[in-house]
Structure 1
């Protein structure tokens, strides 16, 4: 009995020792902006246009980058905007699960794909912005992962728009080709973004941006075409509760696309947006608002348009679209892995040349 008591006291002592280390760990993490570097103190590859300070040093321990979640640097708000968004989406998923029988109702699976893909893209974004400053290969790898997250979210958007939002007239033209095309365009979007990052400093900025934006714009136009038709046919007398949310998601997306494409407002105030009010931070917030509007619109369509979509889509189609979602993720992951291989060869060649 005494032995057992001593073992428990020993374990308690060890746990207390670990707890006592927490303040020191947080102190290391909560360092001031003096712990960060200026753009002149880091390799040019890691510099962002018009962002002059707040860069984290390279080649630190993994713990340093994880704890930098609580540090003031120029990626802090990029991390927290999508970390908080992930938690909001997780709460939203739990709320939906109380009213939607995801396990029993195949017609709810497109909505499930949308919510899961939204959680995935925010999680991938958090990882990229949190850990991408460790080294060049980490930067490439984690941002390629981020692009995989964006591509599979594009597929999630396509499947809910095709399944719930589409009108019968548009369905007649798109039946059998809409979702396979959405899969291909998602993969092209992932490839364009990865290749643009790969050629980050070998191409003019406008060429790189065009390579990243053009495939994504094509995917968005295709994926959202059922919503565009719904909005075009929207009359003042319509009582469809989902349409204002569809309008909101389109408005939020077009706004966030502008901030992704152009480095505003830091272009106007270089050096004054290093920590707060970067264009990419605004892009994150607008994209999250777009996603939340989209989920609410799709949920209302799921509830209010059941007679239409159960007639348009056979009982097997939902399972097929789940399979296509898995194919999209695997294909995009293979694209990212292929590009990581090219990066490793490029870095090896650069080191060997020195």
Structure 2
């Protein structure tokens, strides 16, 4: 009996020793992650204004940048906000598809464009912030991809504004050109963002900044004009009005935090890892996208009599083709800018 008890105590002791070794085994299995760097240790183009620490080292293997999703650095929140937004929008698409027949109902296609464009821009943004730290060239390449997401999402917003929010009077004046202009502005916005990123380290900086901001501002006023007109004719009887107001307020808040480096300017070094303006921008733009999707999910149901009368049966198919064109054009713009940038870089290395 004593022998049996001693054997069991011995086994228990061995089991406890093995359990205590688990953390050491996990630490040994996990790759060592290099510590983050100061802003002076990375290229100028990869720095954020008033963000002094938390930058990942360059020229590591790809595995490091993928695993940095679980490391604390100044891009962690940027990646996770849009990664989570991607899955929330995906869940929203599944919910909508349970009641909307996207295959046969052409009037639902603009709503589908908005959802797909939201998925693409959030995915592109997450990839850019996660993988853009590998090198100077990769940084530009992935953020050019991010700007493709921006351009096509801009079109996605415009098409639902025009299709579901426009009234008959406005449609008579701009119906023939509205989406063509929106397509052009989306492509110009992508080009302006890529140009700004390419020349962000060359003076005068305000020139490249204006090339980015002017197309975005023009696109906002043009694309949201049906919504703005709707808000000016505010009706408390319309249950969707509060959602229109919400998406406009959220978008203007996004623009503010995108352009102004608050709160990191007021609290230097305290917002390096969490709480800086670009992270707030990510949260707000994700909320704006979800608000837009919910708004036009309601309008798809409530305004069927109006938009089915205003828009011809072939309009939705045309807008889908324009969306594909916009996505392709923005991709070609980004690819051309990246090839030119790479050639310039190789030329400088050759002469140096």
Uncovered stretches (5+) of structure 2, i.e. residues with no partner: 1-24
* Bigger Rg, which one: 2
Note if contact 1:193-1:211 (Cα within 8 Å) is conserved in structure 2.
yes
What residue in structure 2 maps to residue 347 of structure 1?
345
What residue in structure 2 maps to residue 240 of structure 1?
238
Note if contact 1:213-1:261 (Cα within 8 Å) is conserved in structure 2.
no
Q: Deviations over 1:293-344 (max 9, x none)?
A: 1111111111000000000111111011000000000100110011001210
1:26 Cα deviation (Å)? 7.5
Q: Distance in 2 between matches of 1:26 and 1:54?
A: 24
What residue in structure 1 maps to residue 175 of structure 2?
175
Q: Distance in 2 between matches of 1:80 and 1:196?
A: 25
* Cα root mean square deviation, aligned: 1.6
Note if contact 2:43-2:136 (Cα within 8 Å) is conserved in structure 1.
no
What residue in structure 1 maps to residue 46 of structure 2?
46
1:209 Cα deviation (Å)? 2.2
1:24 Cα deviation (Å)? 5.4
What residue in structure 1 maps to residue 186 of structure 2?
186
Deviates more, 1:117-126 or 1:270-279: 270-279
Change (3 A) 1:25 1:170: farther
Q: Deviations over 1:101-155 (max 9, x none)?
A: 1111010000000000001000000000000000111111100000000110010
TM (norm. structure 1) is 0.90
Change (3 A) 1:207 1:262: farther
Matched, 1:148 2:148: yes
Matched, 1:313 2:311: yes
Matches within 5 A, 1:27-176: 27-28=30-31, 31=33, 35-176=35-176
Q: Distance in 2 between matches of 1:23 and 1:164?
A: 54
What residue in structure 1 maps to residue 17 of structure 2?
none
Q: Deviations over 1:194-225 (max 9, x none)?
A: 00001011134433322211101111111110
What residue in structure 2 maps to residue 212 of structure 1?
212
Residue 28 of structure 1: SS of its match in structure 2?
coil
Note if contact 1:82-1:122 (Cα within 8 Å) is conserved in structure 2.
yes
What residue in structure 2 maps to residue 277 of structure 1?
275
